[in-house]
Structure 1
């Protein structure tokens, strides 16, 4: 099956790279912080056999335009709506990974859920920072995240070191081959460090708890969370989004490392909510 590729203008001079393959009910995959369409290769191959499968490089990611404007998740939510309009996509299942979940929630904030069929949210709390560490599911301690912003996202080598440490410590559960780690780092470095810093700050200071609750009450929603913080995430989501289904699998990049198991979870959810 041939992949259709397109560049869709979302602002004057700013184009987003989009892959569009297959027919049927649409699924839209949104990659996380500084990553690209390529991380979803196994999902595209699997789901394009039964669904219209769309994957987006957000602005300043991958093959999309690098721009100093709009590198925040408010703009990314608007960009998503413009892409869906251009492709004439309605009633899609959104699959957001990591900060890609923020794009999905921002879309909900701006445009509601009338044109969303369901949501699959991969390993991202709706509010990244909290001082209530014992109660809330968060990205990490404030001091650690501040140090990452201050010490790493200041030059290309810092970004390289940050992603390397995150990939080996959080993303996967096995030892990465050298070529795998190199590939992951190269994916991230397609977004320049000064834009990565903007995105990092925008993501960490976001608060989509209201939208997470609202969307989970309006459309079928599945959270898939990594094993390393599953107990905290499950407890937190039971309070914030009690109607949400929550599953646990692997590390932060579980859909890449455990693609067959992940695809089975998605298949079961999609079948139940057709």
Structure 2
């Protein structure tokens, strides 16, 4: 059931709850030494725009924080990527704010943002169960489900678990349902099996050894405009996830493979892939071979829905119009 922390609980209340839980459940001294506690608290404060914090109680140990906008009958649920939060979808929340066709939900996955920072459950089979629990808690039906980056694994795990019965459409935003392959220069995967380019290691070990540098390198990689302000914004959001959970969720993803589930969408459900320019040929080749009816949009870099929000939102609107009533 929906747990809306009293009708008057604001984001700032959620921030205090978040900061307190981080300091006491993870270990205040360790977090303070790494700088994560301060950065995470600052990030939460910076996101405290007027509004209400809402939580869905999914299980005894997990409450999922979400933001929503619009008041239409068709729910759209966007899941962020590795160490990110619902804040990255601010421009989609604004876009759908007056919609009478859609209600847009942006969530914080387990261990990220303002959702519960649980001791366990930081693997993608559980993330799929978490999404099902979120839908059940809010009574969401016929969902348009979207995942960005490693959030593609969250939503693909849900697809593997629950199928398409409660979905109206499926969207992957610059994320693959199969992270590891033989050659990431030719296949729609993140990592080479041998990690010959050390890309997999880049998202695992540096977050344990030098989190601040890892965050900055991560932000520079995903942004078209790697300004100091933008890098700080990405870093502060990322710091809301602990070093250990960041490393663990990256490594757990390397063992996931939901490609068969996504291929099976062909002819059954409206499916959209949004890819960065670098992945243009790889994604188009995958679609041609496996799911030719897929809608494909290519633009910008990894954070294109934020940096190129007008272009992204226009492509999203066009795709949504193809969903049968």
After TM superposition, the score normalised by the length of structure 2 is: 0.78
Corresponding position: 1:159 with 2:211: yes
Aligned length: 269
Determine if contact 2:204/2:246 at 8 Å carries over to the other structure.
no
Matched with 1:43 is 92
| Greater Rg over alpha carbons, structure | 2
Match of 1:206 among 231, 256, 263: 256
- Residues 113-148 of structure 1: CA deviation (Å, up to 9, x unaligned): 011000121011221111144541221442313432
Match of 1:81 among 112, 120, 132: 132
> Gaps spanning 5+ residues in structure 2: where?
1-49
Instruction: Return 17-26 or 129-138, whichever deviates more.
Output: 129-138
Determine if contact 1:30/1:57 at 8 Å carries over to the other structure.
yes
Corresponding position: 1:272 with 2:322: yes
Partner Cα separation in structure 2 for residue 236 and residue 159 of structure 1: 34
Q: Note the aligned Cα RMSD (angstroms).
A: 1.7
Determine if contact 1:33/1:98 at 8 Å carries over to the other structure.
yes
Match of 1:103 among 154, 157, 161: 154
Partner Cα separation in structure 2 for residue 100 and residue 125 of structure 1: 9
Matched with 1:91 is 142
TM-superposed deviation, 1:150: 5.2
Matched with 1:238 is 288
Determine if contact 2:295/2:319 at 8 Å carries over to the other structure.
no
TM-superposed deviation, 1:250: 0.5
Q: How does 1:177-192 map to 2 (within 5 A)?
A: 177-192=227-242
Runs of 4+ in 1 over 6 A off after TM superposition: none
Match of 1:27 among 33, 56, 76: 76
Corresponding position: 1:7 with 2:55: yes
Match of 1:221 among 271, 280, 285: 271
Matched with 1:168 is 220
Instruction: Return 134-143 or 191-200, whichever deviates more.
Output: 134-143
